[in-house]
Chains A and B, each alone.
Chain A
Amino acid sequence: MNSRLKWRPRLTDGTAPVLVVLAVLLVALAFAGPAYSEPAGYLALLKRAAPLVILAIGQYLVIVSGGFDLSVGSLVTAEVVIAARLINGDDGNTVWVVALLLGFGVLVGLVNGLITTRLLVPSFIVTLGMLLVLDGAVFLWTGGAPRGALSESFRVPGRGSLEIPVLGQVPWSVLILLVVLVGAVLFMRGGTGRTLIAVGDNENAVRLAGGRVDRLRLLAFVSSGLLAALAAILLAGFAGVSAQVGRGLEFRAITAVVLGGVLLGGGRGSVVAAAAGALSLEALFSLLKLVGVSGALESAVQGVIIIAAVAYAAHGAGLRQKLRIRKPAPALP
């Protein structure tokens, strides 16, 4: 079906619609707010969205291989609280604490992955358990209120920006996001990435073909943990210490991935689409605020998106063909 005789962008089935949605939202933003008439407005949006996009990329790796990672939200909270406590306002602590945070993310991912692959507990349950464990541990350690403070240098990746000739002030988080995204795209194009998708599609086939299913799964969870740690560093840098920072982020990331047309249960979807889904979600929330819709509606909108996007994905293939016959452009406004 998919001839690879000549190079073409790897746009999987679900990618085009979310890119259209994203484009529509970005144009709508330009009409809704004066701030979006210049690049700075969009860069500010990207900066706000960067942690969620990074989380969505991690979540994508797990979902496309047939799992779930519900622990990322509480992992983000735990990381931020740990960072504040260990740095304690001292710039000299920044470097080793960042290394430790990334290491902790890897460790949590490793535990999630090992329990899923070795003990054969469904990842939904493992990571739900991890969510509760981390929540409880953070509460026990802090008594519910974070202590300590972040250093100025720790906050640079999330808050600072770099002067780039044409674009002006480009936030560090946007640059970090670009690196992660390019890395993820290259990874998914490579043999390992393709096998990871195959694991989500048909685990047994991969195993019979000699693929190391457990190792790939483990890799997905570890990457998700590592990316959650990175997102936590950006979030903490962006806004400072808070014990609420990760609340609900796991569902936001899953919504983003689903919005990107990635099939829950794995085996289909592209990482670019997942990232675009996260950006669309953030753009949608910004748009709702710009036009004066209450923030209380956010979770309702998120719920509708999950259901609608999964329904669309389930019936999408046939639907898209029909639409294509009638007219070339998708029916999205």
Chain B
Amino acid sequence: MNRKIAVVAVAGVLAMAGCSSDLPGQGAGNASSSKQPTAKSEFFDQPEYDRQLKFRTATAVNLDGGGGQAQPWEQALDPKLVDTAKFAKPGGGHHLCFSNAAVNNPWRQVGFKTMQEEVKQHPEITKFSVLDAAGKDDKQISDIQSFASQGCSALIVSPNTTATLTPAVEAACKTGVPVIVFDRGVKTSCPVTFIHPIGGFAFGADGAEFLKEKVPSGGKVLALRILPGVDVLEQRWAAANQIFSGSGLKVVGVEFTDGDAAKTKSIVSTYLQREGKIDGIWMDAGATAVAAVEAFQDAGAALPAIVGEDQQDFLRMWSKEKLTAVAPTYPTYQWRTPVIAALRILTGKQVPQEWVLPQPRITQDNLKDFIKTDMPPLHYAMCGCDSMPGYPAPWK
């Protein structure tokens, strides 16, 4: 008997949750029901935020000074050069080792292809060994250990997570092999160089500032994020949140899409039904930007100002539908730099201790330069690969 009452109670509560919670939604709720992004995220770091925002307008310099404009993947922002003479190994015949976190998304696939092609351009690299950790910390730790006995001339690491991989990288440094870390960092300064684009705050701010400029004050903005808790993505949102909170824009929702197009489309169409009109879409990564725009098209709604990324499908849609859009990039050309850095180190040339690469964005003005109709829809335009000898076959 008691059990039955409990079951009725649970069923009742469930059903009531459905019924009663629409009451506040009728009146004041519509104005304040959404999460207001007032509280600062624990991932927000004011000095680092300021530094990254400053880097966006700073001029990248050539490492060897003067002599025309080098390619962005060979440049650095505000470099503090360190000596590498002790690692010099004249005569070539280098064995380059690379411990990769994963190739489990299109960004990493394009990047890894680019790196492989970069290696091919240098005859002095006679062997290129790669171990793929498939997104697992423990696998990557043992990968790095196993490289210790393989006679690497230099070790490149793209860490899966920051804190967990730190001891493994420290151990690798102790073997005397020059270690190069790129993409995500580690909490030690023992690698010879740490290569990365400006960073997540700059990425998030690029998009948010664009919306602040294009969406009229009081306009409704929906923020779509992939998932919580990943520091690079949290930084992007922390910066956007910071900018939105000081603007007249109304953030009507912050939703997680898991990077899934169907979920993104459902979320956006529900928000269109709820709000009637959405003026801007901010995204922490552009993979599902096309699905978001399709939701507007299918609902017959006016297309919003949108923040995407440099994937071909989005760039083509941008051009075709004449979107008001911007594409901050986390350039895949950064996969070329570790190879370049390794060769500099092995020839005893200086490298920056923290090698900050420029992080360009695609705007209406330079959009047409990045649309490549013959490339796959998930190809990243900012790969710096279109002038490489094998292009475009390996990237298809």
Q: A-side interface residues toward B, CB under 8 Å?
A: 21, 24-25, 28, 31-36, 41, 44, 48, 89, 139, 143-149, 159, 235, 238-242, 244-245, 247, 284, 286-287, 289-296, 304-305, 308, 311-312, 315, 318-319, 322, 331-333
CB atoms of B11 and A241 under 8 A apart:
no
Which residues between 26 and 50 of chain B lie within 8 Å of chain A, taking CB atoms? 26, 29, 33-35
CB atoms of A144 and B104 under 8 A apart:
yes
Residues of B within 8 A of A148 (CB): 376
* Chain B residues with a Cβ closer than 8 Å to the other chain, count: 58
Q: How far is the CA of A28 from the CA of B25 in the complex (A)?
A: 11
Q: How far is the CA of A294 from the CA of B35 in the complex (A)?
A: 9
Residues of B within 8 A of A159 (CB): 294, 298
**8 Å CB contact of B260 from A139, A143, A245, A293:** A245
Residues of B within 8 A of A290 (CB): 22, 25, 270, 273-274
Most chain B beta-carbon contacts within 10 A, residue among A44, A146, A242, A319: A242
Residues of B within 8 A of A149 (CB): 313, 376-377
CB atoms of B22 and A28 under 8 A apart:
yes
CB atoms of B271 and A289 under 8 A apart:
yes
- A-B pair count, CB < 8 Å, reads 148
**8 Å CB contact of B256 from A235, A295, A315:** A295
- Of the A-B pairs whose beta carbons lie under 8 Å apart in the complex, a sample of 25, sorted by A's number, is A21-B15, A24-B15, A31-B26, A34-B276, A48-B269, A144-B102, A144-B103, A144-B104, A145-B109, A145-B378, A239-B261, A240-B291, A244-B263, A284-B18, A287-B18, A289-B267, A289-B270, A292-B274, A294-B255, A295-B267, A304-B10, A308-B14, A319-B7, A332-B12, A332-B15
Contacts A240-B294, A242-B261, A289-B270 known; 7 new A-B pairs at CB < 8 A? A21-B15, A145-B108, A238-B262, A290-B274, A291-B21, A291-B22, A312-B11
A145's closest neighbor in chain B, by CB? B106
Tell whether A32 pairs with B294 under 8 Å between CB atoms, given A144-B105, A242-B262, A333-B12. no
B3's closest neighbor in chain A, by CB? A315
CB atoms of A296 and B256 under 8 A apart:
yes
B146 on interface, CB distance cutoff 8 Å: no
Tell whether A239 pairs with B262 under 8 Å between CB atoms, given A143-B109, A292-B29, A305-B14. yes
B104's closest neighbor in chain A, by CB? A144
User: Shortest beta-carbon distance, B341 to chain A, in Å?
Assistant: 25
Tell whether A291 pairs with B33 under 8 Å between CB atoms, given A147-B378, A239-B264. yes
Most chain B beta-carbon contacts within 10 A, residue among A25, A28, A159, A235: A28
Q: B-side interface residues toward A, CB under 8 Å?
A: 3-4, 7-8, 10-12, 14-16, 18-19, 21-22, 24-26, 29, 33-35, 102-106, 108-109, 253, 255-256, 258-267, 269-274, 276, 288, 290-291, 294, 298-299, 313, 376-378
B259's closest neighbor in chain A, by CB? A244
CB atoms of B299 and A44 under 8 A apart:
yes
Tell whether A245 pairs with B26 under 8 Å between CB atoms, given A44-B269, A292-B34. no
The 8 A-B pairs of least Cβ separation, nearest first, read A144-B104, A292-B33, A35-B273, A239-B261, A239-B262, A244-B260, A242-B261, A145-B106
Residues of A within 8 A of B290 (CB): 240
Q: How far is the CA of A48 from the CA of B290 in the complex (A)?
A: 17
User: Shortest beta-carbon distance, B14 to chain A, in Å?
Assistant: 6
Most chain B beta-carbon contacts within 10 A, residue among A28, A145, A312, A322: A145
Q: How far is the CA of A286 from the CA of B280 in the complex (A)?
A: 21
**8 Å CB contact of A32 from B12, B22, B259, B378:** B22
Residues of A within 8 A of B103 (CB): 143-145
Tell whether A333 pairs with B19 under 8 Å between CB atoms, given A145-B106, A159-B294, A291-B33. yes
Q: How far is the CA of A44 from the CA of B274 in the complex (A)?
A: 13
CB atoms of A32 and B25 under 8 A apart:
yes
B379's closest neighbor in chain A, by CB? A147
Q: How far is the CA of A139 from the CA of B274 in the complex (A)?
A: 37
Residues of A within 8 A of B288 (CB): 242
A48's closest neighbor in chain B, by CB? B266
CB atoms of B4 and A319 under 8 A apart:
yes
Residues of A within 8 A of B104 (CB): 139, 143-145
